[in-house]
Amino acid sequence: MPVLCQPAVDVPEHVITAEETLALAERRHARHPQLPLALKLIRNTGVQKRHIVQPLEQTLRHPGFEERNRVYEAQAKERVPAVVQRALDHAELTPAETDAIIYVSCTGFMMPSLTAWLINRMGFRPDTRQLPIAQLGCAAGGAAINRAHDFCAAYPGSNVLIVSCEFCSLCYQPTDVDIGSLLSDGLFGDAVAAAVVRGRGGRGLRLERNASYLIPHTEDWISYAVKATGFHFRLDKRVPTTMEPLAPVLSDLAAAHGWNASRLGYYIVHAGGPRILDDLCRFLHVEPHAFRHSRATLTQYGNIASAVVLDAFRRLCEEGGVPHGAPGILAGFGPGITAEMAVGRWVGGPAPADAVRAGAGRVMSAAAEPR
């Protein structure tokens, strides 16, 4: 079965801290009637810092949609190749051994996709399949993993490269001052991530089953208004409540595989905000420690959109992994409201004991048996 190997992740060198974010909001929106609520919501995200592709003073200026998209393309071409190479190295593959590239991003636009540029730039074969995904937002990380799984099922032995490139800071709109926009100004960060799904061999998450689900009639809860000035992010206040209907869907996916979602060895989920993780703990009846990787991504990088699940999975890999055969679940959530979910077992065994941080074993001691 296909295996999701250890991802590579890179964040830009420019940093904005939580304290700077709050001070900026107070300074720029001093007369906003709901400023105290906005500040409270930003504090409650738990985000300590975020990384952005341009210095803060440039980020706060809006030179126009055309210039922002030019920056997006230039930054993608500068930053993506090294991350792709590290992901290939983790999977012990070369570009010539890659059969498809799935590129996901919701923060800029290129045609042809960056996939074409990567094929020419990095020596992938001319017959490499290309699958750009542009409109699934934060759910696209999970969708990319699932489509890679599907591709490997259709073409056994194939290898698929996944690339996520999210420069959320390039979507900052200084004229948007509703609560949802102010919250997003303090929540989203930039990152590039890549991972390989190997059709045979590899160490990581063996993908065994995947599923998609859309909560009916919620398509306007997370959306873009596309205007002359670019992408204007719209966030409904009901979004944090979505785990109540989605947690049973995760449980059903695990049950269809013969597993109990409350007793898995690892959980890799999109961290759109702390309430999502808190609610999943409650509805799935698991300890908060189970979501430590997703919470660490949120705390240290903010919401990095489609790259979240790849970064959270990277953290599990760098922690040392879990015992061979341990069951787990991975899920991305985004516009729609859409969930992209996968279950599978860890293969390849853990890293040497001295590389495993304290705590990883505690989760497995209570969750070695999924039934």
User: CA nearest 59: which of 101, 24, 91, 19?
Assistant: 24
Token pair, residue 247, equals 């947690």
Determine contact, residues 165/305, Cβ cutoff 8 Å.
no
Q: At which residue do the structure tokens 């295996």 appear?
A: 3
148 vs 162: CA distance, rounded Å: 8
Annotated active-site residue 138? The verdict is yes
Q: Which amino acid is at 16?
A: I
CA separation for the pair 43, 179 (Å, rounded): 14
Helix (H) or strand (E) segment spanning residue 206: strand 204-214
The DSSP bridge pattern shows strands 100-104 and 129-133 to be parallel
Query: Does the N-terminal peptide bond of residue 337 adopt cis geometry, omega within 30 degrees of 0?
Result: yes
Closest Cα to residue 114, out of 139, 83, 142, 136?
A: 83
Q: Give me 159's structure tokens.
A: 């290898």
Helix H or strand E segment including 183: helix 179-185
> Bridge partners of 329?
267, 343
Please tell me the distance from the alpha carbon of residue 49 to that of residue 59, in angstroms, as a whole number. Answer: 15
Number of H helices, E strands in the chain: 12, 14
Give the residue carrying structure tokens 């160490």. 203
Point out the catalytic residue in the list 138, 152, 281, 317.
138
Helix, strand and coil in the chain, % to nearest 5: 45, 25, 35
Residue 1 makes CB contacts below 8 A (sequence gap 6+) with 206, 207, 208, 344
Which residue numbers are catalytic?
Answer: 138
